[in-house]
Amino acid sequence: MNITDILVAAKDAEASDIHLVAGKPPTFRIHGVLEDMPGCEEKLMPLAVKELAYSILNEDQEKSFEKNKELDFSFGISGVGRYRVNVHVQRGTIGVSIRSLSTEIPDFSKLGLPEVVRSFTEYENGLILVTGPTGSGKSTTLASLIDKINKEKAHHIITVEDPIEYLHTHKRALVEQRELKADTESFSTALKYALRQDPDVILIGEMRDLETITAALTAAETGHLVFGTLHTNSAAKTIDRIIDVFPMDQQSQIRIQLSTSLRAVLAQQLVPSTDRKRKVACEIMVGTPAIGNLIRENKTYQIPSMIETGMRHGMISMDAFLEKLLKQGKITTQEFEKRSSVKKNKIDL
């Protein structure tokens, strides 16, 4: 068994993720559910996992992994696909987690997101955040939005990613993609220099720290359209997370900056559906003047109520979106109850 055999089997099974861990057969995540590789009962031995891992590492990557015991990278196999990989050590043995990356950027209409999200590409400046847990489709959503700008506007687009997932070709726009470690040392460093590279649009793969968030806010305030991601599950928590990164004596100023520069927050998750696949569910907050006032006045606890009453601006709460999926028969009552704060007996089915 070699890595290509495993990846071809994963492709045939429509698996989104592949896990290689000692003591188990190769394990696939298929429509959100973990299953052993079809037709394979043989458990991987530690040496076999190591050989599979090292078969996709180059010399520099081997040295980095052996030094740090962690490594993120991406690679591709002609005719098979592109992949994002994490190699790590667990219980003294190597483990490998592989995410399958689509070679084609999906059209926005196929994502299942509300039309208001499409309009995010029309902003000329400001900050747009796409949030959610790992594996919730954030990168796919952002790739689709960047591709729309690429097709329609003569802009200079710079992305900073860890690692690069979707490959963009130059269309009407000029697109430069930078990968952490391979092309730049950090998100904050890349952002600092991006402002000297005449960008119109900047995508930040992850806003992890104070320096990156500061640079993103500066870019958004100085006439650039900035897309970024965080691992938060609601608009209010996203705003709180950004503000809480800063020292107390800076938080008031950050609220003012956010209140004027934040254009929208899209919090999304993927929910197992009745057709045994997964549907996107999302919460959308649009940066209206009323939302800006709540941010500035440190009243983020009122944002959920504002979202519920903001339908005319395209806003929708996660509960309302899940309820819509339930009424359409796209998700089960069990999935709805796991993810919603609303009791099913309050819903008129």
Residue 344 has pLDDT above 70, yes or no: no
Output the pLDDT for position 343. Answer: 59
The band of 66, judged by pLDDT with boundaries at 50, 70 and 90, is very high
Report which of 178, 181, 165, 177 is spatially closest to residue 60, judged by C-alpha positions.
181
154-180 CB burial, b ≥16 within 10 A, e <16: ebbbbbbbbbbbbebeeeebebebbbb
Output the pLDDT for position 133. Answer: 93
Output the pLDDT for position 135. Answer: 86
Output the pLDDT for position 233. Answer: 93
Q: Compute the C-alpha angle 22/23/26, nearest 5°.
A: 70
Output the pLDDT for position 162. Answer: 86
Indicate whether this model's pTM tops 0.85: yes
Residue 349 has pLDDT above 60, yes or no: no
Phi, psi of 286 (to 5 degrees): -105, 140
Output the pLDDT for position 32. Answer: 86
Average pLDDT over residues 260-267: 98
Distance in angstroms (rounded) separating the CA atoms of residues 260 and 195:
20
Output the pLDDT for position 347. Answer: 53
In whole numbers, what is the pLDDT of the chain averaged over residues? Answer: 94
Average pLDDT over residues 260-272: 97
Residue 281 has pLDDT above 60, yes or no: yes
Q: What percent of the chain has pLDDT over 90?
A: 87
pLDDT tens for each residue of 122-137: 999 999 999 999 889 9
In the chain the domains, ranked by start, together with CATH numbers, are: 3-101 (3.30.450.90), 108-338 (3.40.50.300)
Distance in angstroms (rounded) separating the CA atoms of residues 271 and 331:
8
Average pLDDT over residues 225-229: 98
Residue 243 has pLDDT above 80, yes or no: yes
Output the pLDDT for position 346. Answer: 52
Residue 311 has pLDDT above 80, yes or no: yes
Given a contact cutoff of 8 angstroms between Cβ atoms, the answer to whether 265 and 129 are in contact is yes
